[in-house]
Amino acid sequence: MNTRKDQKRYTGIDKDLNGGMTDTGKIIRDAWVFGIIPETETCEGWLAAGIQSLWEKTSAEWEKYGFLVSNLPEDLRQRFYRIQFDAVKRAKAAGWDPEKEVDEDS
């Protein structure tokens, strides 16, 4: 029987692969942008259902703006860029190489 205890839990954006540059990391960063969760929330220990719910909430917010950063109000756009800039900086410091990912996908 698969109980909650046995289910895989998320490691947390701060401990995620590639310095958090993953699909789950993007969901979390977007949730920070929209204030769905505080920027201090790493989602460590969350089950997949919690991440899925977070994705649904962030997707609903993005939909309001046509899924375009340029359509965000100025305060959200500035927050988006700050969060992304900080995330890229941390990921690169952790060894993430965006060029390598592009090469591997080609």
Alpha-carbon dihedral of residues 29, 32, 36, 39, nearest 10 degrees?
A: 120
Q: Please provide residue 20's backbone torsions phi and psi, each rounded to the nearest 5 degrees.
A: 90, 5
Q: pLDDT tens, 34-90?
A: 999 999 999 999 999 999 999 999 999 999 999 999 999 999 999 999 999 999 999
- pTM attached to this predicted model: 0.87
Residue 105, pLDDT score: 46
pLDDT tier at 3, thresholds 50, 70, 90: low
- Cβ of 54: how many Cβ atoms within 10 Å? 20
